[in-house]
Structure 1
Amino acid sequence: MLTTPAARASENGALTAKPSPPAAVASHARIRSLEDYHEAYRKSVEDPDAFWAEVAEPFTWRRKWNKVRGGAFSPEGSSTWFEGAKLNITENCLDRHLAARGNKLAIIWEPNDPKERHLRLTYRELYNEVCKFSNVLHNLGVEKGDRVCLYMPMIPQLAIAVLACARIGAIHSVIFAGFSATAIADRVNDAEAAFVITADGLNRGAKQIPVKRVVDEALEHCPSVRKVLVIEHLGWPVHMHEGRDVWYHEEVKEAGKTCTAEEMDAEDPLFILYTSGSTGKPKGVVHSTAGYMVWADYTFRNVFQVEENDVYWCTADVGWVTGHSYLLYGPLLAGATTLMFEGVPTYPDAGRFWQVCDKHSVTIFYTAPTAIRSLMAAPLDNVLSYSLDSLRVLGSVGEPINEEAWYWYYQHVGKERCPVVDTWWQTETGGIMVSALAGITPSKPAHAGLPLPGVQPVLLTQEGQEIEGNDQEGYLALKAAWPGVIRTTYGDHERARQMYFAPYPGYYFTGDGARRDENGLYRIIGRVDDVINVSGHRFGTAEIENAINQNPHVVESAVVGYPHDVKGQGIYAYVICHQGEGSTEAERNHLEASIIETVVAEIGKIAKPDKIQIVSGLPKTRSGKIMRRILRKVAEGETGNLGDTTTLLDPQVVDEIIAGRK
Structure 2
Amino acid sequence: MPSVRRVRDWPIFGRDGDGVAWRPDAAVAEASRLAGFLRLTGEPSLEALQAHGANDPAWFWGAAADDLGLAWARRPRSVLDVTGGPAWARWWDGGSFDWSWAAIEPRALREPDAVALTWEGEDGSVVSLTAGEIARAVRTAAARLAGFGIGPGDRVGILLPMLPETVVAVLAVSRLGAIFTPIFSGYAAPAIATRLTDCGARLLITADGFLRRGTWVDLKSVADAAVAAAPTVERVLVVRRAGNALAVPWTGGRDAWWDAGDDAVGEPSAGSNEAATAVGRDPESPYMIIHTSGTTGRPKGAVHVHGGFPVKAAQDLAHQFDLHAGDSLFWFTDLGWMMGPWAIAGALLLDARLVLYEGAPDFPGPDRLWSLVARHGVTHLGLSPTVIRSLMAHGETPVRAHDRSSLRVLGSTGEPWNPEPWWWYFREVGQGRCPVINYSGGTEVSGGIVGGNVIGPIKPASFSGPCVGTIADVVDGRGRAVRGAVGELVIRAPMPGMTRGFWNDRARYESTYWSRWPGIWAHGDWASIDADGFWFIHGRSDDTLKVAGKRVGPAEVESAAVSHPAVLEAAAIGVPHAIKGEAIVVLCVLRPDNADDPALLGSIGQRVADELGKPLKPEVVAVVRSLPKTRSGKVMRRVIRAAWLDLDPGDLSALDDPVALESIRAVSRASSR
CA pair 410-34 structure 1, distance change in 2 beyond 3 A: farther
For the Cα contact (< 8 Å) 1:368–1:397, is it kept in 2? yes
CA pair 390-530 structure 1, distance change in 2 beyond 3 A: same
CA pair 153-561 structure 1, distance change in 2 beyond 3 A: farther
2:315 to 272, 276, 298: 298
Separation in 1 of the partners of 2:303 and 2:163? 24
1:282 to 287, 299, 302: 299
User: In the alignment, which residue of structure 1 is the partner of 2:500?
Assistant: 487
CA pair 281-103 structure 1, distance change in 2 beyond 3 A: same
Q: How does 1:319-358 map to 2 (within 5 A)?
A: 319-326=336-343, 328-358=344-374
Q: Does 1:407 align with 2:423?
A: yes
CA pair 73-524 structure 1, distance change in 2 beyond 3 A: farther
User: In the alignment, which residue of structure 1 is the partner of 2:54?
Assistant: 45
User: In the alignment, which residue of structure 2 is the partner of 1:652?
Assistant: none
Q: Secondary structure at the match of 2:197?
A: helix
1:191 alignment partner AA: C
Q: Does 1:71 align with 2:82?
A: yes
Q: How does 1:8-47 map to 2 (within 5 A)?
A: 15=20, 17-21=23-27, 22=30, 27-28=36-37, 35-47=44-56
Separation in 2 of the partners of 1:34 and 1:608? 54
1:316 alignment partner AA: T
Structural RMSD (CA)? 3.3
User: In the alignment, which residue of structure 2 is the partner of 1:446?
Assistant: 461
Consecutive unaligned residues in structure 2, runs of 5 or more: 1-16, 546-552, 556-583, 590-626, 628-632
Q: How big is the shift at 1:61?
A: 1.8
User: In the alignment, which residue of structure 1 is the partner of 2:73?
Assistant: 62
User: In the alignment, which residue of structure 2 is the partner of 1:569?
Assistant: 635
1:505 alignment partner AA: P
1:548-576 Cα distance to aligned partner (Å, 9 max, x none): xxxxxxxxxxxx99666685635425469
For the Cα contact (< 8 Å) 1:28–1:40, is it kept in 2? no
For the Cα contact (< 8 Å) 2:105–2:135, is it kept in 1? yes
User: In the alignment, which residue of structure 2 is the partner of 1:170?
Assistant: 178
Q: How big is the shift at 1:230?
A: 0.8
Q: How big is the shift at 1:243?
A: 1.6
For the Cα contact (< 8 Å) 2:414–2:634, is it kept in 1? no
For the Cα contact (< 8 Å) 2:188–2:222, is it kept in 1? yes
For the Cα contact (< 8 Å) 2:116–2:129, is it kept in 1? yes
Q: Secondary structure at the match of 1:394?
A: strand
* Count of aligned residue pairs for this structure pair: 563
User: In the alignment, which residue of structure 1 is the partner of 2:258?
Assistant: 248
Separation in 1 of the partners of 2:554 and 2:234? 34
2:189 to 139, 158, 181: 181
Separation in 2 of the partners of 1:289 and 1:561? 45
Q: Secondary structure at the match of 1:87?
A: coil
Q: How does 1:57-456 map to 2 (within 5 A)?
A: 57=66, 58-71=69-82, 74=85, 77-114=87-124, 117-235=125-243, 236-250=246-260, 259-277=276-294, 279-326=296-343, 328-438=344-454, 440-456=455-471
**After alignment, is 64-73 or 179-188 more displaced?**
64-73
User: In the alignment, which residue of structure 1 is the partner of 2:14?
Assistant: none
2:441 alignment partner AA: W
Q: How big is the shift at 1:415?
A: 0.9
Q: Secondary structure at the match of 2:465?
A: coil
For the Cα contact (< 8 Å) 2:412–2:437, is it kept in 1? yes
For the Cα contact (< 8 Å) 2:297–2:651, is it kept in 1? no
2:456 alignment partner AA: T
1:472 to 463, 475, 485: 485
Separation in 2 of the partners of 1:197 and 1:429? 26
Q: How does 1:492-503 map to 2 (within 5 A)?
A: 492-503=505-516
For the Cα contact (< 8 Å) 1:29–1:55, is it kept in 2? no
User: In the alignment, which residue of structure 1 is the partner of 2:609?
Assistant: none
Q: How big is the shift at 1:137?
A: 0.4
Separation in 2 of the partners of 1:461 and 1:14? 26
Q: How big is the shift at 1:158?
A: 0.8
Q: How big is the shift at 1:51?
A: 2.1
Separation in 1 of the partners of 2:651 and 2:78? 47
2:24 alignment partner AA: K
CA pair 24-303 structure 1, distance change in 2 beyond 3 A: closer
Q: Secondary structure at the match of 1:395?
A: strand
Separation in 2 of the partners of 1:208 and 1:118? 17
Q: How big is the shift at 1:444?
A: 0.8
**After alignment, is 33-42 or 156-165 more displaced?**
33-42
Separation in 2 of the partners of 1:33 and 1:378? 48
For the Cα contact (< 8 Å) 2:236–2:256, is it kept in 1? yes
Consecutive unaligned residues in structure 1, runs of 5 or more: 1-11, 536-559, 578-590, 616-634, 636-655
Separation in 2 of the partners of 1:408 and 1:370? 12
Separation in 2 of the partners of 1:107 and 1:144? 27
Separation in 2 of the partners of 1:445 and 1:46? 31
Q: How big is the shift at 1:319?
A: 1.4
CA pair 178-517 structure 1, distance change in 2 beyond 3 A: same
Q: Secondary structure at the match of 1:83?
A: coil
1:483 alignment partner AA: P
Separation in 1 of the partners of 2:128 and 2:487? 47
Q: How big is the shift at 1:98?
A: 2.2
User: In the alignment, which residue of structure 2 is the partner of 1:540?
Assistant: none
CA pair 606-299 structure 1, distance change in 2 beyond 3 A: farther
For the Cα contact (< 8 Å) 2:438–2:463, is it kept in 1? yes
1:488-525 Cα distance to aligned partner (Å, 9 max, x none): 01111111111011122221111000111111111000
1:42-99 Cα distance to aligned partner (Å, 9 max, x none): 3312322222112223322222223311228937x32211123222111210111123
Q: How big is the shift at 1:278?
A: 6.4
Q: How big is the shift at 1:40?
A: 2.7
1:325-384 Cα distance to aligned partner (Å, 9 max, x none): 12x000000000110101111100100000111111111111111110000111321112
Q: Secondary structure at the match of 1:484?
A: coil
2:521 to 498, 508, 516: 508
For the Cα contact (< 8 Å) 2:115–2:131, is it kept in 1? yes
Separation in 1 of the partners of 2:671 and 2:82? 53
Separation in 1 of the partners of 2:466 and 2:665? 44
Separation in 1 of the partners of 2:320 and 2:181? 26
Per the normalisation by structure 1, the TM-score is 0.78
Q: Does 1:526 align with 2:539?
A: yes
For the Cα contact (< 8 Å) 1:500–1:508, is it kept in 2? yes
User: In the alignment, which residue of structure 2 is the partner of 1:538?
Assistant: none
For the Cα contact (< 8 Å) 1:384–1:412, is it kept in 2? yes
CA pair 85-513 structure 1, distance change in 2 beyond 3 A: same
Q: Does 1:660 align with 2:660?
A: no
1:246-296 Cα distance to aligned partner (Å, 9 max, x none): 112226996688831353211111201111246420110111111223211
Separation in 2 of the partners of 1:175 and 1:143? 20
CA pair 494-282 structure 1, distance change in 2 beyond 3 A: same
Q: Secondary structure at the match of 1:91?
A: helix
1:462-498 Cα distance to aligned partner (Å, 9 max, x none): 2x33134x32211111111111111101111111111
Separation in 2 of the partners of 1:561 and 1:270? 43
For the Cα contact (< 8 Å) 1:354–1:386, is it kept in 2? yes
For the Cα contact (< 8 Å) 1:292–1:484, is it kept in 2? yes
Q: How big is the shift at 1:171?
A: 0.3
2:322 alignment partner AA: Q
Q: Secondary structure at the match of 1:284?
A: strand
